[in-house]
Amino acid sequence: MCNEKRWFVGQRRRNQRQTTQKDLEDALKFGDINCELILKCVAVKKPAGDLCMQEFEQDERPLKPFLRWAGGKNWFAKHLASLLPRSGYRAYHEPFLGGGSIFFSIKPQERAYLSDLNTELITTYQALRDAPKEIIEHLSRYTNSEQFYYSIRSQSSKNWIEHAARFIFLNQTSFNGIYRVNLKGKYNVPYGYRTKNFLESQILRAASSRLKYAIITDGDFEMVRENLREGDLVFLDPPYTTSHNNNGFIKYNHKLFSLRDQQRLSLLIDYIKSKGAYYILTNADHKIITDLFDKGDTIIRLARANLIGGEHAARGKTTELIFMNTGVASE
Ligand SMILES: C[S@@+](CC[C@H](N)C(=O)[O-])C[C@H]1O[C@@H](n2cnc3c(N)ncnc32)[C@H](O)[C@@H]1O
């Protein structure tokens, strides 16, 4: 069924041509990817429209995120350029920021609105944007040892520089880089015995300058509504409520993302469309999710190795869905 569909794909070398899903797969496979990629169109009701590779300028290189984050989309970042609206977009919104791998992989053309429910995370972003030098100086006094890790973990920070340094240090040296708090809201991830350098000053400085013009706020994803305008792009990477392929990592912090939250998210996507803006949503490959988010736009299924660790870890293959309206810009 999919083979009969015709897709328009902008080749890397600019020429546009009508192509098949096989060509789309090839186009998305550019770059060095460490995941197996299988694309299928699911319930596509019309051609995907214009999908186009967006080349990066020298100063718009993809950056490495400065944090490790459960559910991070590093693996997806390399495919994203081909899914962006061909005619460009205005402001960029990312309301489930986490480690920000997608934001750091693109250089938004205009203003970026970044947010997450995790206040400790967002305070770290704000501090890094405004005071990278002080944070790096602070981190350079830390040492990667079990004793030091637990002493930093048990302390609370006196100011936002210390807060950011502590957050980055614990993230880089903890077990698996997961963010987990106990019932009192205290970070309780054990030491990770990692030998890798925890202070990568260049990555921190580069991240800071890319964040310079970003509006960074903590709060629920519905805040997107406040600043959304026609032609904006919203990238949505919520925690996955349902397990896909009978595995999945569903706890990011002490609050779960419930089915009710997924329903709110579905309504937000209706709102985004009604404003004439674009969305790209990643979510678990599950019938409940398809029922909620099939808005008659493009749906892509991606398969990849599941490398998420932690308590509920399961290593193997998993599939995820990408829902988007970026290829149907003229609708
Ligand atoms: C899958 S992670 C995002 C990962 C990110 N895309 C990356 O590449 O690192 C989901 C994020 O959503 C946040 N979150 C959970 N519930 C939320 C809510 N109601 N509103 C906004 N953010 C929420 C979590 O704190 C977590 O950072």
Does the structure show a pLDDT above 70 at 273?
yes
150 CA → ligand 1 middle, Å: 26
Which residues in the chain are classed under CATH 1.10.1020.10? 125-202
181 CA → ligand 1 middle, Å: 15
22 CA → ligand 1 middle, Å: 32
240 CA → ligand 1 middle, Å: 9
For residues 228-256, average pLDDT: 71
Homologous superfamily (CATH) for 74-117+219-324? Vaccinia Virus protein VP39 (3.40.50.150)
SS3 assignment, position 83 = helix
Query: What atom in ligand 1 is closest to the CA of residue 253?
Result: 25
| Backbone angles phi and psi of 322, in degrees to 5 | -120, 120
pLDDT for 60 equals 65
pLDDT for 316 equals 65
SS3 assignment, position 19 = strand
pLDDT for 242 equals 65
Residue type for 307, please?
L
Which residues in the chain are classed under CATH 3.40.50.150? 74-117+219-324
Residue 57 in contact with residue 87, Cβ under 8 Å? no
Distance CA 208, CA 130 (A): 7
pLDDT for 7 equals 36
Question: From atom 18 of ligand 1, which residue's Cα is the shortest distance away?
Answer: 220
User: HEC string of 92-106?
Assistant: EEECCCCCCHHHHHC
Question: From atom 26 of ligand 1, which residue's Cα is the shortest distance away?
Answer: 98
pLDDT for 321 equals 94
Which of 34, 24, 41 lies closest to 76 in space, CA to CA? 34
Q: Among 97, 104, 115, 283, which residue has the most ligand 1 atoms within 8 Å of its CB, making it the best to mutate?
A: 97
* Beta strands, E only, the chain: 7-10, 16-19, 40-41, 50-52, 92-94, 112-116, 214-218, 233-236, 278-284, 298-306, 316-324
* Residue 59, C-beta contacts closer than 8 angstroms, at least 6 positions apart: 107
**pTM for the full model?**
0.80
Q: Among 225, 252, 267, which residue has the most ligand 1 atoms within 8 Å of its CB, making it the best to mutate?
A: 252
257 CA → ligand 1 middle, Å: 9
The mean predicted confidence, pLDDT, of the chain is 79
* Alpha-carbon dihedral angle through residues 51, 56, 60, 64, given to the nearest 10 degrees: 80
125-202 adopts what CATH topology?
Adenine-specific Methyltransferase; domain 2 (1.10.1020)
Range with top average pLDDT, 38-47, 173-182, 204-213: 204-213
pLDDT for 307 equals 53
| Backbone angles phi and psi of 301, in degrees to 5 | -105, 130
Which range has the worst mean pLDDT, 19-28, 46-55, 58-67, 130-139? 46-55
Residue 72 in contact with residue 99, Cβ under 8 Å? yes
298 CA → ligand 1 middle, Å: 23
| Protein residues with CB under 6 Å of any ligand 1 atom | 69, 71-73, 95-96, 98-102, 116-118, 220-221, 237-239, 252-253, 257, 261
Residue 107 in contact with residue 55, Cβ under 8 Å? no
Measured CA to CA in angstroms, residue 303 lies from 48, 82, 134, 211, 309 at distances of: 20, 17, 41, 31, 18
SS3 assignment, position 59 = helix
